[in-house]
Amino acid sequence: MTTALIYDPIFLEHLTPQGHPERPQRLEMAIKVLEALDWLKRDGLVLIPPRSATEDELALVHDHAYIQQVKAGADDVARKEQPGGATSRRFATDTYVSAQSYAAAIRAAGAPLTALDAIMQRQADNAYCLVRPPGHHALPNAAMGFCLFNNVAIAAQYALDHYEMERVMIIDYDVHHGNGTQDIFYTDPRVLYFSIHQAPFYPGTGHSDERGAGAGLGTTINVPLPASVGYEVYEPVFRQVMAHAADRFDPQLILVSTGFDAHWNDPLGQMNLSTAGFAQLSKIIIELAQTLCNGRLIMVQEGGYNLDAMGACVATCINLLLGDDAAVDSLGAGPDAEQGFHLNAEVLVAELRRIHKLTGYRMRNAPKPDVERLRREVKGPDA
Ligand SMILES: [Zn+2]
């Protein structure tokens, strides 16, 4: 298995104010963990710097006027910055730009395009795009939720247009609903968008009755969950709803909005997933990609605001993409692992299957979960 890691230090130059959770240290920590494990030189891992997305590529999902607005916002900070300064300015509610933000954002948008090109040219089987700013809240004409350009949506549209794919699936397990991605493909039957997220929570969208519209009716699947649920609920939803929907849709490419803010230790999310839980969910996705689309899978970084959890989860995903099955984890299960909100997963799954007409359907090769095996730990550098 060859995995491409798409990363560029320019991502560290997109600055946010002191105390902002979406900060350069998130990616610095991920790189630090990979270095400590000596995994950047690992067999099968290829490091590929991302190209910048062109304005035409950004315009696959964004308005030209909005693209210019982001560029002008960054240029304006650069012009007024003192020599050696490192300032950022509010661009939209909670989203900031600094002098290098446009350069970072077009490289973040270019990362999954670079990944897809590498996969289609058979230089890699799958890829992890370690990028910021994140993307899944970005709308065609507006920034929100720390996001400037919708990296995953641009990649999905690029796959449809440039590689003439007919069916692309986006799986979003960030703790927040990816409202931007949903909006962009809401009426497009060629993109199946699946999101599992905390609700009620930011940004307030992603109800289970939001299922797409027009020709796209049925190709949006939302799974809103109350705070503090964990793996016991995520796992059956993944196996019995997400995987069935994927199997029925039969995608030619799977993109993942890979957010780790549903980790129990995350300061924004209030969910109860552990790194081992994320590993198991990611493994379900990897197996689906192998069964359905020759393993073509691109994970694109979204949220994740606890540095330790972020570093461990990134390293774990890369390990799984390379074909290993162990989680890198020095945090373990959360302190509330047993006291989490008890939701009747069977009732939830039955209701979701009814809403999305998944009745009478059985997943191909459905394996039994083997949690113990996944909890075998490779000690992280901080253990
Ligand atoms: Zn998030």
What is the per-residue pLDDT across 341-363, written as a single tens digit (0 to 9) for each? 678 899 999 999 999 999 765 55
Distance CA 351, CA 345 (A): 10
- Pair of tokens at residue 374: 């996944």
CB 5 within 8 Å of CB 50:
no
Per-position b or e across 314-341, b if 16+ CB within 10 A of its CB: bbbbbbbbbeeebbbbbbebbeebeebe
CA 257 – ligand 1 centroid, Å: 9
CA distances from 172 to 10, 25, 192, 285 (A): 25, 23, 11, 11
Predicted confidence band of residue 381 (pLDDT cuts 50, 70, 90) = very low
Q: Do residues 170 and 196 lie in contact, with contact meaning Cβ atoms separated by under 8 Å?
A: no
Rounded CA-CA distance 273/265 in Å is 9
Q: Tell which residue, 95, 79, 186, 78, has the closest CA to residue 138.
A: 95
CA 377 – ligand 1 centroid, Å: 26
Residue 49, preceding bond cis, omega within 30 degrees?
A: no
Name beta bridge partners: 128: 5, 299
Distance from residue 83's CA to the centre of ligand 1 (Å): 34
Ligand 1 is an ion; its neighbours by CB within 5 Å are 174, 176, 259, 261, 303
For the record, the structure tokens of 211 come out as: 């299922």
Given this model, what pLDDT does residue 133 score?
Answer: 98
User: Ligand 1 mean position to 303 CA, how many Å?
Assistant: 4
Which phi and psi (to 5°) does residue 90 adopt? Answer: -60, 130
Angle at 278 between CA 233 and CA 19, to 5 degrees: 110
Give the Cβ contact number of residue 103 at 10 Å: 18
> Is there a catalytic annotation at residue 137?
yes
Closest CA to 300 of 156, 160, 158, 85: 156
Cβ(88)–Cβ(96) under 8 Å? yes
Tell me, in angstroms, the distance from the centre of ligand 1 to residue 205's CA: 13
pLDDT digits (tens, 9 = 90+) for 144-169: 999 999 999 999 999 999 999 999 99
Q: Is the pLDDT of residue 273 over 70?
A: yes
259 C-alpha vs ligand 1 centroid, how far in Å? 6
Residue 378 has pLDDT above 60, yes or no: no
**Mean pLDDT over each residue of the chain, to the nearest integer:** 93
Identify which of 186, 343, 344, 181 has the alpha carbon closest to the alpha carbon of residue 272: 343
CA-angle at 138, arms to 123 and 279, nearest 5°: 50
For residues 131-152, give the mean pLDDT: 98
Could you tell me the distance, in angstroms and rounded to a whole number, from the CA of residue 340 to the centre of ligand 1?
A: 20
Confidence class for position 373, pLDDT limits 50, 70, 90: low
Q: Out of 137, 176, 177, 356, pick the active-site residue.
A: 137
Q: Which residue has the tokens 């299957």?
A: 353
> Residue 88 Cα, ligand 1 centroid: separation in angstroms?
21
CA of 214 to the centre of ligand 1 (A): 28
Q: Which residues contact 133 (CB under 8 A, 6 or more apart)?
A: 14, 22, 95, 101, 104, 105, 108, 146, 147, 148, 149
Report pLDDT digits (tens) over 208-246.
Answer: 999 999 999 999 999 999 999 999 999 999 999 999 999
- Residue 383 binned pLDDT confidence (cut-offs 50, 70, 90): very low
For the stretch 29-56, pLDDT in tens is 999 999 999 999 999 999 999 999 999 9
Give the pLDDT of residue 364: 54
CA of 140 to the centre of ligand 1 (A): 19
| Percent of the chain scoring above 90 in pLDDT | 87
Q: How far is the CA of 200 from the centre of ligand 1 (A)?
A: 13
Ligand 1 centroid – CA 176 distance (Å): 4
Is residue 366 predicted with pLDDT exceeding 60? Answer: no
127-154 mean pLDDT: 98
- Distance from the CA of 146 to the center of ligand 1, in angstroms? 9
Enter the pTM of the model. 0.93
Q: Give yes or no for residue 299 having a pLDDT over 80.
A: yes
Q: What is the 3-state secondary structure (H, E, C) of the chain?
A: CCEEEECCHHHHHCCCCCCCCCCCHHHHHHHHHHHHCCCCCCCCEEEECCCCCCHHHHCCCCCHHHHHHHHHHHHHHHHHCCCCCCCEEEEECCEEEECCHHHHHHHHHHHHHHHHHHHHCCCCCEEEECCCCCCCCCECCECECCECCCHHHHHHHHHHHHCCCCCEEEEECCCCCCHHHHHHCCCCCCEEEEEEEECCCCCCCCCCCCCCCHHHCCCEEEEEECCCCCHHHHHHHHHHHHHHHHHHHCCCEEEEEECCCCECCCCCCCCCECHHHHHHHHHHHHHHHHHHCCCCEEEEECCCCCHHHHHHHHHHHHHHHCCCCCEECCCCCCCCCCCCCCCCHHHHHHHHHHHCCCCCCCCCCCCCCCHHHHCCEECCCCC
